[in-house]
Structure 1
């Protein structure tokens, strides 16, 4: 039975998840170097990411069953589709060569954002970090591919976070004008979720908060409905206010985006139903505390990740051509991984029938 959790405790957790999502998706990639220190970041970027990560985590984890990795990925892909109606980047790119468009959506930008960046950086990474640092559960960790889960439970976590920092840091280097700018952006922005995590664990009531599970801290049904309405209203408002001139005036580009929403929502539901059928003998039970990675080691790994990300992005910042080539390779690898996971989800859904 889920614990009764005060709304203020949930709001605190949701804020931390939102700041982690902003850090991984916007700061680490260089799109928004100082989102916690300007009005645009506080009034637009932070609400956007917070509403998305909380609502999608609620939606995909609401069934009382173990959540497959493919379902989490598909929820992250849905996250990435905000780049249609809010930023319009899928329809009218603001970066990179526009290249090939199919059905009114640009293939390269859509693949980068929907198959790679947002599923991993805006959703999976912050949800994993938030659950492991804030709670007593490890459901997101259990959903990861086995080799990643094993690494997170041992000292190999330090190798994993350094490798991740290198993989991500090349993009930050491309988008940072100077090494000092890269350092200032990463260190000052990481301080915000870092301070909030510290307060969560060390402020009065920290032991009780850290003893909760992620499911305890996600919205209940009524709260999830409210957040869904807020997210819809936010999408409509920002869709009208941000680059309204880039909104397609014909139906085909909208149909293409609706088809992508239907695809990834349908895949998420399908793999969840398959998991429910497979695990029908018993509902999901939280992982015992003894099986969790040591929080102290995870905190140290988080610090190593931030330091490595800052070092890599600062070191490569003066070498734009090399950083750009590495970022392109990383992006292609990420898109290939995302496509493979999407195909795996399709296969799982087909086998269910």
Structure 2
């Protein structure tokens, strides 16, 4: 596989040229971006998959939901619906996609919408009777047809965009110069005790622009696992034989956190929708044991025959340091944008 990627390097150069020309045309306004008169925060990455967008979006929801009419807008990857969908009591993972449905089940006071056309999605949200005053765009860093007011760029520790190259040889969707559009860059999946020396080394490698801010976060696992009817302490099941199940990108840390010597692990592709055959395989593998899975997988399996033995482990994004500074920057952007909007609309 690695050798094949090396052979495809000329195509990486071509792809990089195409994306650079596209970005140049947007930067010079030969291609137009739509701007909307409300705070819009876009969260995304330069690479494909596995940087921790979902916990970062959830962090922003917790930060901003109080005092704001908040909406999230996602593509709804691998959903079975089309066009714009606003989540309601009939929503499920097939209609919304797993990550938006997870937002919908966890955060009852917000609007959750999906649309591959982000501009249309925003306009549909703003046409609602109870329209939002802040929108979070999930995985929308490359969607240049919409001009967000604020960009949060994620890059995973150990897989920094500065060390990567363009698809198909590497995993970058656009060249490293795309990082210059970010207001904040977050290095995710760090060790909680990452040293200041290591943070400074990464900062130098990323070559931030003068007005950009850099933060470091780690995945903070819950101390409990949850089912439809039960909450169990992780420590109490750590040494109990169980089946660990993950259909996410880069699940190694999930398995490491929970696994004991006698446990079995099942891995499925990221955003995998489980067929009846898959469910039968899982059931036979589990043999009546507890099945511990990720929250994203749980919302795809919660209504199946596996439910009585199915548990999920929540995660959240936590800051190594300077959390208050991050919060202040985001809240100041939202507050300033809202004040400007009030002046503009009078």
Q: Name the TM tier (shorter chain).
A: under 0.3
Q: Which has the higher contact order (CA 8 A, sep 6+)?
A: 1
Q: Which has the larger share of helix?
A: 1
**TM-score of the pair, normalised by structure 2:** 0.26
**TM-score of the pair, normalised by structure 1:** 0.25
- Structure (1 or 2) with the larger CA radius of gyration: 2
